[in-house]
Homo-oligomer: A and B are copies of this chain.
Amino acid sequence: MSETLSIETICRQAKAAAGLLAHVPTLQKNAALQKIADQLWSERDEILAANAADVSAARAAGISEAMLDRLTLNESRLQNIITDLRHVTELADPVGDLLEEKVLPNGLVLRKQRVPMGVLAVIYEARPNVTVDVAGLALKSGNCVILRGGSETIRSNRALCAAIQRGLQGTQIPAAAIQLISDTDRALVLELLQMDKYVDMVIPRGGAGLHTFCRENSRIPVITGGMGICHLFVDESADQERSIEVIRNAKIQRPSVCNALDTVLVHQSIAAEFLPRLVERLAADRVTFRAEPAALALLNGKNSAVVQPAGPEDFDTEWLSLVLGLKVVPGVEEAVQHIAQHSTAHSDGILTEATENAAYFVEQVDSAAVYVNASTRFTDGAQMGLGAEIAVSTQRLHARGPMGLNELTTYKWIIRGSYSVRP
């Protein structure tokens, strides 16, 4: 349906729709979400057929099994996506929240009140679930969204978006609230990034290349994030056995995501005991290691099959796989220094029994999420009680860490006087 529309038309329609959607009450937004969920389910055959075509085209093009898996929908996955969408109706609607209220000495009454951001543009890669997740969170927070998925998943996205727009029929929400750029020409992304007249926020969800491209080319504010070189520092006083379990969780529970662990820093006084135990435990899970010289020396000979010397860029690599960097440090200060140099400021933690070291670490490490005695895997909107997440920000403006519904809003000041003038 939107195939023939220009980027500017799509954006202008979105902005017009945003003017309406901002004022739709919660009950009606929730009803629309339920209608979309119903429609997605009733169109499951078309959606799964479109997805199957995407999958076979991708397979023919020789993409990796991991990518294929992310791309693939089946009835049960679609059902989960729909369940997640219905769950969004249960989240609190942030729009209208009163953030601050005060009466000034001159009698003016000030209210600072949440309003939707306006129009979001989300640029993402292979996963078709993002299409539905983002549509749901945008709609609930009163925002229109322009979706630009990867070309591998274009048939799935067209089918999903068509169902979403049909779901909106008969509701107060115009179909233009959720639009897909259904032409996969890459030049259109560049065009989209110039539409600052209509679009308020760009959220790239993908690799470093996509984020850099957006930051370099966008006239619209960009949320950068989703890249995590994450660290855990094992202090002298840490419970070693429990620390190994935390590291194991952070590394292997889901190695392909941004909050998975990349580097373990170990206090030198326990390294000789700790490192071999760690390597033994994690090698059983098929983890391999990149160790700097001091760590390597402590492991030497014993685990040569799984431990390699760390290369010059290994501590600046987000592994996204079962690889773990190992380094011995003299103490918490050097751990903090290493993190300042190598972290992407996503998620970093200390494992310690020493309150003072924990306090120092928490004060000095300037990452979106700083942990004491916990796995880095908790940096996640659902885990942190935000209900859901649209992205994880590793930049500093507007929002840091998981972004939920609140982070898709801004505010306005409402000021009431009695024909008040400034002296």
Q: Using CB atoms and an 8 Å cutoff, list the residues of chain A in contact with chain B.
A: 19, 22-23, 102, 104, 108, 110, 115, 117-118, 196, 200-201, 215-216, 219, 221-222, 239, 242-243, 245-246, 248-250, 253, 340, 349, 351, 358, 362-364, 366-375, 377-379, 383-385, 395-398, 400-401, 410-422
CB proximity of A336 to chain B, nearest CB, Å: 10
Contact yes or no, B421 A245, CB < 8 A:
yes
Residue of B118, B242, B412, B416 touching A368 (CB-CB under 8 A): B412
Residues of B within 8 A of A196 (CB): 215
Contact yes or no, A385 B249, CB < 8 A:
no
Contact yes or no, B413 A374, CB < 8 A:
no
Contact yes or no, A221 B395, CB < 8 A:
yes
Contact yes or no, A366 B422, CB < 8 A:
no
Closest residue of chain B to A103 (Cβ to Cβ) is B385
Residues of B within 8 A of A383 (CB): 104, 422
For the complex, give the distance between the alpha carbons of A365 and B347 in Å. Answer: 39
Are A366 and B412 CB-contacts (below 8 A) given A396-B118, A397-B201, A421-B375? Answer: yes
Residues of B within 8 A of A340 (CB): 19
Are A419 and B245 CB-contacts (below 8 A) given A115-B366, A412-B400? Answer: yes
CB proximity of A233 to chain B, nearest CB, Å: 14
For the complex, give the distance between the alpha carbons of A410 and B239 in Å. Answer: 33
CB proximity of A118 to chain B, nearest CB, Å: 6
Are A374 and B420 CB-contacts (below 8 A) given A104-B384, A221-B397, A396-B410? Answer: yes
Number of copies: 2
Contact yes or no, A374 B417, CB < 8 A:
yes
Contact yes or no, B201 A413, CB < 8 A:
no
Residues of B within 8 A of A222 (CB): 221
Residues of B within 8 A of A412 (CB): 366-370, 400-401
Residues of B within 8 A of A239 (CB): 419
Contact yes or no, B108 A378, CB < 8 A:
yes
Residues of B within 8 A of A246 (CB): 419-421
CB proximity of A112 to chain B, nearest CB, Å: 9
Contact yes or no, B249 A378, CB < 8 A:
no
Q: Supply 17 A–B pairs (Cβ within 8 Å), ascending by A.
A: A23-B364, A118-B396, A196-B215, A215-B219, A221-B395, A351-B419, A367-B412, A370-B414, A371-B416, A373-B417, A374-B415, A377-B421, A378-B415, A384-B415, A396-B410, A397-B398, A397-B410
Are A422 and B378 CB-contacts (below 8 A) given A370-B413, A400-B411? Answer: yes
For the complex, give the distance between the alpha carbons of A115 and B110 in Å. Answer: 26
Are A413 and B396 CB-contacts (below 8 A) given A419-B239, A420-B378? Answer: no
Contact yes or no, B375 A418, CB < 8 A:
no
Are A110 and B415 CB-contacts (below 8 A) given A215-B196, A422-B378? Answer: no
For the complex, give the distance between the alpha carbons of A362 and B412 in Å. Answer: 10
Contact yes or no, B104 A369, CB < 8 A:
no
Residues of B within 8 A of A253 (CB): 421-422
Contact yes or no, B422 A375, CB < 8 A:
yes
Closest residue of chain B to A422 (Cβ to Cβ) is B377
For the complex, give the distance between the alpha carbons of A216 and B102 in Å. Answer: 37
Contact yes or no, B415 A243, CB < 8 A:
no
For the complex, give the distance between the alpha carbons of A196 and B216 in Å. Answer: 10
CB proximity of A408 to chain B, nearest CB, Å: 11
Residues of B within 8 A of A216 (CB): 219
For the complex, give the distance between the alpha carbons of A248 and B383 in Å. Answer: 54
For the complex, give the distance between the alpha carbons of A196 and B331 in Å. Answer: 30
Residues of B within 8 A of A219 (CB): 215-216
Contact yes or no, B372 A104, CB < 8 A:
no
Most buried by B among A115, A378, A415: A415
Residue of B102, B200, B397 touching A385 (CB-CB under 8 A): B102
CB proximity of A8 to chain B, nearest CB, Å: 17
